[in-house]
A and B are shown apart, each in its own frame.
Chain A
Amino acid sequence: MYAFEIERPKSLADAVAAIGAEEAQFLGGGQTLIPTLKQRLAAPSKLVSLSGIAELKGLRMDDAGRVCIGGGTTHATVAREAAAHYPALAALAAHIGDPAVRNRGTIGGSLANNDPSACYPAAVLASNATIVTSNREIAADDYFEGMFTTALEDGEIVTEVRFPIPQAANYQKFAQPASRFALVGVFVAKYADGVRVAITGASEQGVFRWSEAEAALSKSFDAAAIKGLAADADGLIGDMHGTPAYRAHLIGVLTGRAVTAAAG
């Protein structure tokens, strides 16, 4: 690590004010940033920790019936407290990393980082969630802009994520053997106005919606509806853990399993 200053603001307003410095960076749960610092791959002059800001933490239900999760809420809290409202989302959170990761890592940190193999982006995109920031509200379809790239601007903090609750949903993660991030992860969510299918882990562009499957499943929410439907291997990740063709194949298998699990 290189030397840096750290500030621990108690309010969102103070955090936004503190980030002014040129090389300053927000620190959420630190699950990506801290290892990066330890490897000396980043050298911020100042870190602004978001961990002490009470207004970023916790879950609530809003008037529209959405489950709203503060950006600084840990995966462990989501796993525990979302279970009654949105079980598929809670189950996803319960299987991110290990207990140490789940008790430090936050939903806001995960979404700001937008790792192409992270789990949360699939839930957010499939749920058509709204990302609320210190400045504005961003629809999920407008938020994810590619691998490690989002619509967030410098100094903007994810304050809350609002998930409309689906009629049925399920997340299937096929773990990469070493990291146990998603080699492919599929989140399927069925709403009154249609089915959304979001794929993580597979694409060089990060999380994306599988529109062919959505169309088929919106007509018939049954794994049989996507039999014979193949995801396009073009643009998918190929590495030592799997070829693009293998990832494309897994997208089909996992989507079917997610639908079966959600429908059951």
Chain B
Amino acid sequence: MRHVGDPIAAVVAETYEAARDAAEAVVLDIDELPAVIDMKKAVAPDAPLVHEDIGSNLCYDWGFVEENKAAVDAAFEKADHVTTLELVNNRLIPNAMEPRVAVGDYARATGDHTLYTTSQNPHVIRLLMGAFVLGIPEHKLRVVAPDVGGGFGSKIFHYAEEAFVTFAAKALNRPVKWTCQRSESFVSDAHGRDHVTKIQLALDKDGHFQALRTETYANMGAYLSTFAPSVPTWLHGTLMAGNYRTPLIYVNVKAVFTNTVPVDAYRGAGRPEATYQLERVIDKAAREMGIDPLEIRRKNFVTEFPYQTPVAVVYDTGDYNATMDKLVEIADLAGFEARRAESAKNGLLRGLGVNCYIEACGIAPSHLVGQLGARAGLYESATVRVNATGSISVMTGSHSHGQGHETSFAQVVADMIGIPEDMVEIVHGDTANSPMGMGTYGSRSLAVGGSAMVKATEKIIAKARKIAAHLLEASDADIELKDGKFSVAGTDKSVDWAGVTLAAYVPHNYPLEDLEPGLEEISFYDPSNFTYPAGAYACEVEVDPETGRVRIDRFAAADDFGNIVNPMIVTGQVHGGIGQGVGQALLEGAVYDDNGQLLSGSYMDYAMPRADDLPNYVVDHSCQTPCTHNPLGVKGCGEAGAIGSPPAVVNAVIDALNRGGHKVAHIDMPLSPARVWAAMQG
């Protein structure tokens, strides 16, 4: 066993209680070996090895961009000011509402396997488990992931229990079901974050960023989970430019094995880690140099697009001053001083934290991630099946586990044709129905999956236009589609949507010599670039100086998500993301003891944010610079709140303490009352 929660045996029984009795009857002859939890201790020469055969706990040591290192170091040598910050991005335990579940089934007559599982990407599980674990070809393996109760990244990955129930169902010729208990989830769902970073920012005397360098230890846990190596590298190093024109950047990441639960992507995945350290070091630099925190950001903003960063990616569009202006307005920053004075009357220290963020979403151009070492293509697929009466089934490779795709995707297709949304059904989560797709994570579904849907719907409309032209005895160049009706330009001749769709399936009066019957199209869309949502966040806190307790009084988010399909869903995504970010900043944190026991193993010690921990948010997404390279002009909104909010909260607490006369430069998350109080004691 390499970590508490590492599966070593499985029991199948007729009932749940019998299975638990049998599992208890299994006698484990385990000798306790030395464990290593702390990453810096893990890379010391005499550390116990997590994997004896590797001979080191250092998984990789990654420099990015290696060719820039000398120039970065030289820039630091001659900088007017250097700000250094060491910080921890705390380990999080995902806690989706629904724990993981897997049911294996097997049909002996046909040799068909079916796995029902709580996955964010059933096709990926089919490929990974079928090809690389059990050796079952895709046409004999169906993976179904119906409504899933939240994922936040933790249900992207392939887990042992999925393979086991699939295997056991065949061995026993019975369906086999496994349901994770919450306490098992804590020690078996891949955790998130867990970086230890030293970041340095070099500035000229006016506060212009000259160079940035970072050294990060990234915890992999005891094994490499599905996407784990990419999180601290390509989802993190490439974001270190943030919203700023820093000409020289060097990122070093040391990935480390420890005797802990594997760490993998969790809402934001690498981008929250990048944003947090960058926005914290900027805040510290501003304080050290006596520059207003908004001003130092504004004077370094990228303002011309497209912008080639020194860390590989090209931002296609954005307007960071616009979101900052919007933030100043919606957060009522002008009223801060009056609110601060009011708090002071009550004996409380009020602070204001502001930060920006940028993320790379719409994951991802396949050729690019292939060059970077990924073993997956990251396109998305859609089949648009128009039925004879005009209703539409859209089979998507994206997966909805709380994102509301059923609503917003239907809007996209219905709007293109001009028919009511209830004529469009979104079908997802079953490899037997949908074309091979890559699933949902990385705020990719609308930007990539939605684009595939647009492409397929465009093919549908092109074909339907030809059918309409035939029915109306006109040239298809003269056919106009409006509000679900095809008409001949300049005439009153028209045929409605259902008339065309019925003709496609009852092709009596139909150009069969030129056109196949039927109306069903498929598209695979591979993006040419990432999308770059960005924004500016502000948080106001009150700190009780006697107890260290932090209360968030106000939170404002000004986001640029490009075009927006469904504002209510976008608002909900931002709300949820901020809730998770506040959770990370103030409450959540996995704690291990030196022997590898998870001390925060239940809700008695692992603090999830509750409604009364959160303020009423003010969110605005009216600043819109549409993405230039996908047909919807959308950027993605699922992770923004979780990326943008932790630095806002921490910046606000540090601001409150400093305004209250406590010279505190930094406190590591979660900012529990005990930690804040201890920092105030010096």
Known: A177-B587, A240-B591, A253-B547. A246 touches B603 (CB 8 A): no
Contact B605 A178 (CB under 8 A): yes
CB-CB nearest in chain A for B20: A40
List 7 tightest A-B contacts by C-beta distance, closest first: A178-B607, A242-B674, A177-B607, A179-B604, A253-B546, A246-B674, A240-B591
Residues of A within 8 A of B672 (CB): 177, 241-242
Q: In the complex the two chains form, what is the Cα distance from A179 to B672 in whole Å?
A: 14
Contact B547 A250 (CB under 8 A): yes
Contact B674 A243 (CB under 8 A): yes
Question: Is B133 in contact with chain A by the CB < 8 A criterion?
Answer: no
Question: Is A249 in contact with chain B by the CB < 8 A criterion?
Answer: yes
How many residues of A are in contact with the other chain, CB < 8 A?
17
CB-CB nearest in chain B for A256: B546
Question: Is B673 in contact with chain A by the CB < 8 A criterion?
Answer: yes
Contact A246 B599 (CB under 8 A): no
Can you report 10 A-B residue pairs in the complex whose CB atoms are below 8 A from each other?
A: A1-B17, A39-B183, A174-B673, A178-B603, A178-B605, A178-B607, A179-B604, A241-B674, A249-B677, A253-B547
Interface residue ranges of B34-56 to A (CB < 8 Å): none
Known: A40-B20, A240-B605. A174 touches B547 (CB 8 A): yes
Residues of B within 8 A of A183 (CB): 673
Q: Residue B605 contacts which of A40, A179, A246, A250 (CB distance < 8 angstroms)?
A: A179
Question: Is B600 in contact with chain A by the CB < 8 A criterion?
Answer: yes
User: Given A40-B24, A177-B673, list of 17 further CB < 8 A pairs?
Assistant: A1-B17, A39-B183, A40-B20, A174-B549, A177-B607, A177-B670, A177-B672, A178-B603, A178-B606, A178-B607, A183-B673, A239-B599, A240-B599, A241-B672, A242-B672, A246-B674, A253-B547
Q: In the complex the two chains form, what is the Cα distance from A179 to B677 in whole Å?
A: 20
CB-CB nearest in chain A for B593: A240
Residues of B within 8 A of A240 (CB): 589, 591, 599-600, 605
**Nearest chain B CB to A188's CB is how many angstroms away?**
17
**Nearest chain B CB to A247's CB is how many angstroms away?**
9
Chain A positions 176 through 188: 1 when the CB is less than 8 Å from some CB of chain B, otherwise 0? 0111000100000
Q: In the complex the two chains form, what is the Cα distance from A239 to B673 in whole Å?
A: 13
Contact A246 B678 (CB under 8 A): yes
Q: In the complex the two chains form, what is the Cα distance from A179 to B678 in whole Å?
A: 21
**Nearest chain B CB to A71's CB is how many angstroms away?**
25
Residues of A within 8 A of B589 (CB): 240
Q: Residue B678 contacts which of A1, A39, A243 (CB distance < 8 angstroms)?
A: A243
CB-CB nearest in chain B for A38: B181
**Nearest chain B CB to A212's CB is how many angstroms away?**
19
Q: In the complex the two chains form, what is the Cα distance from A39 to B677 in whole Å?
A: 35
**Nearest chain A CB to B302's CB is how many angstroms away?**
38
CB-CB nearest in chain A for B586: A177
Residues of A within 8 A of B673 (CB): 174, 177, 183, 242, 246
Residues of B within 8 A of A242 (CB): 672-674
Known: A241-B674, A246-B674, A246-B677. A179 touches B547 (CB 8 A): no
Number of A-B residue pairs, CB cutoff 8 Å, is: 47
Residues of A within 8 A of B677 (CB): 246, 249
CB-CB nearest in chain B for A249: B677
- Which has the most chain B C-beta neighbours within 10 Å: A183, A240, A242, A250? A240
Chain A positions 229 through 249: 1 when the CB is less than 8 Å from some CB of chain B, otherwise 0? 000000000011111001001
**Nearest chain B CB to A226's CB is how many angstroms away?**
13
Chain B positions 641 through 682: 1 when the CB is less than 8 Å from some CB of chain A, otherwise 0? 000000000000000000000000000001011100110000
Q: In the complex the two chains form, what is the Cα distance from A153 to B100 in whole Å?
A: 44
Residues of B within 8 A of A1 (CB): 17
Residues of A within 8 A of B678 (CB): 243, 246
Q: In the complex the two chains form, what is the Cα distance from A178 to B605 in whole Å?
A: 5
Residues of A within 8 A of B20 (CB): 40
**Nearest chain A CB to B506's CB is how many angstroms away?**
59
Residues of A within 8 A of B17 (CB): 1
Residues of A within 8 A of B607 (CB): 177-178
Q: In the complex the two chains form, what is the Cα distance from A33 to B547 in whole Å?
A: 33
Chain A positions 41 through 81: 1 when the CB is less than 8 Å from some CB of chain B, otherwise 0? 00000000000000000000000000000000000000000
Interface residue ranges of A74-107 to B (CB < 8 Å): none
Contact A241 B547 (CB under 8 A): no
CB-CB nearest in chain A for B549: A174
- Which has the most chain B C-beta neighbours within 10 Å: A183, A239, A250? A250
Residues of B within 8 A of A246 (CB): 673-674, 677-678
Residues of A within 8 A of B183 (CB): 39
Q: In the complex the two chains form, what is the Cα distance from A179 to B587 in whole Å?
A: 11
Q: In the complex the two chains form, what is the Cα distance from A241 to B589 in whole Å?
A: 11
Residues of B within 8 A of A178 (CB): 587, 600, 603-608
Q: In the complex the two chains form, what is the Cα distance from A39 to B604 in whole Å?
A: 14
Chain A positions 155 through 187: 1 when the CB is less than 8 Å from some CB of chain B, otherwise 0? 000000000000000000010011100010000
Q: In the complex the two chains form, what is the Cα distance from A177 to B608 in whole Å?
A: 9
Residues of B within 8 A of A39 (CB): 183
Interface residue ranges of B15-33 to A (CB < 8 Å): 17, 20, 24
CB-CB nearest in chain B for A117: B604
**Nearest chain A CB to B681's CB is how many angstroms away?**
9
**Nearest chain A CB to B662's CB is how many angstroms away?**
15
Residues of A within 8 A of B591 (CB): 240
- Which has the most chain A C-beta neighbours within 10 Å: B17, B20, B605, B608? B605
Interface residue ranges of B541-562 to A (CB < 8 Å): 546-547, 549
Q: In the complex the two chains form, what is the Cα distance from A65 to B281 in whole Å?
A: 63
Residues of B within 8 A of A243 (CB): 674, 678
CB-CB nearest in chain A for B610: A180
Q: Residue B603 contacts which of A179, A249, A250 (CB distance < 8 angstroms)?
A: A179
Q: In the complex the two chains form, what is the Cα distance from A178 to B547 in whole Å?
A: 17
Chain B positions 596 through 635: 1 when the CB is less than 8 Å from some CB of chain A, otherwise 0? 0001100111111000000000000000000000000000
Interface residue ranges of B258-273 to A (CB < 8 Å): none
**Nearest chain A CB to B609's CB is how many angstroms away?**
10
Q: In the complex the two chains form, what is the Cα distance from A249 to B546 in whole Å?
A: 9
Residues of B within 8 A of A253 (CB): 546-547
Q: In the complex the two chains form, what is the Cα distance from A39 to B672 in whole Å?
A: 29
CB-CB nearest in chain A for B604: A179
Q: In the complex the two chains form, what is the Cα distance from A212 to B622 in whole Å?
A: 60
Q: In the complex the two chains form, what is the Cα distance from A152 to B606 in whole Å?
A: 33
Q: In the complex the two chains form, what is the Cα distance from A137 to B324 in whole Å?
A: 68
Interface residue ranges of A207-264 to B (CB < 8 Å): 239-243, 246, 249-250, 253
CB-CB nearest in chain B for A98: B610
CB-CB nearest in chain B for A184: B547
Q: In the complex the two chains form, what is the Cα distance from A119 to B586 in whole Å?
A: 24
Q: In the complex the two chains form, what is the Cα distance from A253 to B680 in whole Å?
A: 15
Residues of A within 8 A of B674 (CB): 241-243, 246
Q: In the complex the two chains form, what is the Cα distance from A192 to B672 in whole Å?
A: 39
Q: In the complex the two chains form, what is the Cα distance from A241 to B603 in whole Å?
A: 13
**Nearest chain A CB to B264's CB is how many angstroms away?**
23
Q: In the complex the two chains form, what is the Cα distance from A177 to B605 in whole Å?
A: 8
**Nearest chain B CB to A128's CB is how many angstroms away?**
28
CB-CB nearest in chain A for B677: A246
Residues of B within 8 A of A241 (CB): 605, 672, 674
Q: In the complex the two chains form, what is the Cα distance from A174 to B24 in whole Å?
A: 39
Q: In the complex the two chains form, what is the Cα distance from A250 to B608 in whole Å?
A: 23
Q: In the complex the two chains form, what is the Cα distance from A177 to B586 in whole Å?
A: 9
Residues of A within 8 A of B546 (CB): 253
Interface residue ranges of B467-515 to A (CB < 8 Å): none
